[in-house]
Structure 1
């Protein structure tokens, strides 16, 4: 049986960042990174649909320890190359184990270790024992995307595609394409396919807020030209953090004003004759769900050129040649893309147990949005929903390193968050109304309304709380 100090699950952005921090901040700790797929990169290797790009700026989606030098909003291939370069530059390759899928993890109170069962690239199941388990497997199911059970889908005679499983040989040249959805994936696909397809229609049940941003931030571009690399990186990163946080809090404090601002931007882009109220006027408030970024107005350009259109209606059923809508209208389509969302999967579909008994996350409370009440020696990396994922991933990895150093320095073997006193009111872990989150509420722990049980969604506050506050805070229980 292999023994290591830390097992990291996942070799995407979170897992690579965690490996860097462990190697540099905890050089006396052994660790291994298990990745079920045959390549690193996670999201940026899995998704291959046209136009795949970041929906956060790369100065914050990139790592704090490795400056991003490209465009603000970047394509998936460039992001994957950046991750591969990170692994090479910092010597992380020897720690990665590809085609090693973690099947189960059982905390043994007697051994004071996690017993982790892994299916290896040889197809065998091996057991690894570790002191600490660091889950960096993301938040959605890599095996399956979400597609509603539309009526008569089996009658459709064209090509049906989910973006998560995009066929490499799919030729949409001159084809009529309908993209069902109104999220970031749909708004990426439509302009990317519009120049080649005969017509691309984005079919949505209800509108989403859209924010037009430049593909290259002028301030960041100027900083890269005029300042040393590290100074340009810090300036670009904090400029983005500040603007994102300011707009989020403005939207929550003054939703009507924020909505007017967003709607005015769409009207400017599409002109006075476009029916903005039907197609780009959501029923909910700004940041009740994630905003969609449209870099350099590419979606609006595709609509204005006539190569793309937006239809706001409900799918009644599929037909042999396309879709019948609730309004009675029909859409003919050679290709239908179901950009209808993700299936959230917290914990990578691993069978978690404690002394053989199943661990049910919804019965627990999230501590600092990264650990779970009464579950020893485990952290789960979960990034921000109102900003870049990596901002929180970096802070989480830093905190885990501080925690491990504190344990080693004090001779502790076990750390476990305990609910002591008043945590306030019990609330869902994520305060968004998006469908993919609502469908997965039973998978997630709860949060409280008071620290440290509250999910802040505020990078500046988390920076102080996770980088500088005491690890031994009276809530985390340590034992030898």
Structure 2
């Protein structure tokens, strides 16, 4: 079996993988790059999900790439538009020619002797195995399992005579015209489906165990639309991007410092949306504080509009069991349904299910510390790209890729072949890289996610304004990185003090 070699091998051709390849093209133009993508098209999440109305839940001025202006004035873009934006970006930088589609990566191993990664993949169309080698590995698979979503089993669900659908596997020809639809869930997927499906359905009900904070935003950004008439595209993009980054951070910080005030604000905005209706505010009043879970947004209050018009409704209760014709609730109420949609969440999977090894020994990243949220302790020449959970994903993904480019150039400048991060001070905590959000999918995946440390640069701060100087301007060689197997110089006095103690007590 022949081995194809590249300087950098990227796993995943979604938003992060395409962005990483573009950054490398811009900042490391002499590096050979290849992308392995399991699906038959680029796009990742935006190619996988096909349910009605799928859209971003972040504004496009911050969800777009830092180097590629989003030129529309829509705040929340639909899935096909986002995929077109990604495809256009990939073509502009020649990235579309570097993608190998239909390749499922099975395992990867780093050899400290050769200083290279060896990656094994399967061409799913032919079943043939392929081998790749690379100096550096970038894992850009996100953290969703594309083969399955989170799908709890409901009591007596086999008795239901209608159709049960998970949004992750939306049937291409699902006809819900004139049907009674029940959507189980209260997250971004559910609040997107609810107003969208009322165009054909007889009635749509969102059934939730507990409410979510929901905020209406303009479908069209009036400031962006005005500026686009008088300024160049790049200038408009940059102005709106800076503004929205500030607004995102201001809202999040206010939610953390003054949760009661932000709660009153969000609930007050909902009350205005429901004015004149008899809809109970209990359906929009969460038990947790704002931003303990991700805030959901809807364009032009579309969800509230269909509720006011009676085309849709919300039930807040627990499920007793499925019946032949619907769902029986704990309260004794039964909701009739022809179609039940289980918008119950996502299953978390790291590295696309790929096994990582170092010198043929398993290197599970779930038990390892992350450095700047990018490098993994004890795994040489590898980066894992994560985005933000409290802001637009791409803001952090961009910074992570920029950092990798800086690292590559630093290594070339000094003639280094390998880099590895070390935690001198035993800073690892039980916190994961996805932060303190209490969302179900994050809590369920706590044993699969990489850890973070108790202080910088091992602490994932989920703050773009603090990450910019850390990722773009702080020296690459900060004392925690080991180049070409040479001992890393201590980054803090603590490590120099504790080293003799660790030796005395047999700790490495």
1-side partners of 2:430 and 2:86: how far apart? 38
Alignment pair present for 1:212 and 2:213: no
Match of 1:439 in 2: 444
1:98 aligns with 2:101: yes
1:449 shift after superposition: 2.4
- What SS does the aligned partner of 1:257 have? helix
1:40 equivalent in alignment to 2:42:
yes
Q: Give the match for residue 60 of structure 1.
A: 62
Q: Give CA-to-partner distance per residue, 1:300-338, whole Å, 9 cap, x none.
A: 001000000000001111111111111111111000000
1:183 matches 2:187: yes
**CA shift for structure 1 position 413:** 1.2
After TM superposition, give the deviation of residue 427 of structure 1 in Å: 2.6
Give 1:292-307 correspondences, 5 Å limit. Answer: 292-307=296-311
Partner secondary structure for residue 260 of structure 2 = helix
The corresponding residue for 1:476 is 481
Mapped partners of 1:276, 1:463: distance in 2: 43
> Matched residues in 1 for 2:116 and 2:436: separation?
33
Runs (5+) with no aligned partner, structure 1: none
The equivalent residue for 2:89 is 86
- Spell out, residue by residue over 1:331-360, the C-alpha distance to the aligned partner (whole angstroms, 9 max, x if none): 110000000000011211001111122112
Tell me, which stretches of 5 or more residues in structure 2 are unaligned? 486-508
1:146: Cα distance to partner? Answer: 0.8
SS of structure 1 residue aligned to 2:447: helix
For residues 4-153 of structure 1, the aligned pairs below 5 Å read 4-70=6-72, 71-120=74-123, 121-153=125-157
Structure 1 residue 422 displacement after superposition: 5.7
Change (3 A) 1:395 1:22: same
User: 1:74: Cα distance to partner?
Assistant: 1.0
Name the stretch that deviates more: 442-451 or 259-268.
Answer: 442-451
| SS at 1:226 equivalent | coil
Deviations 1:248-267 (A, max 9, x none): 00000000000000000000
State the Cα RMSD in Å. Answer: 1.2
Cα distance between partner residues in 1 of 2:229 and 2:346: 39
- Residue in 2 aligned with 1:392? 396
In 2, Cα distance between the equivalents of 1:75 and 1:428? 30
Paired residue total: 480
Higher mean alpha-carbon deviation, 337-346 vs 218-227, is at 218-227
Q: What's the offset of the Cα at 1:394? A: 0.8
Aligned partner of 2:496 in structure 1 is none
What is the rounded CA distance, in whole Å, between the counterparts of 1:425 and 1:115 in structure 2? 31
**Mapped contact 1:426–1:449 kept (Cα < 8 A):** no
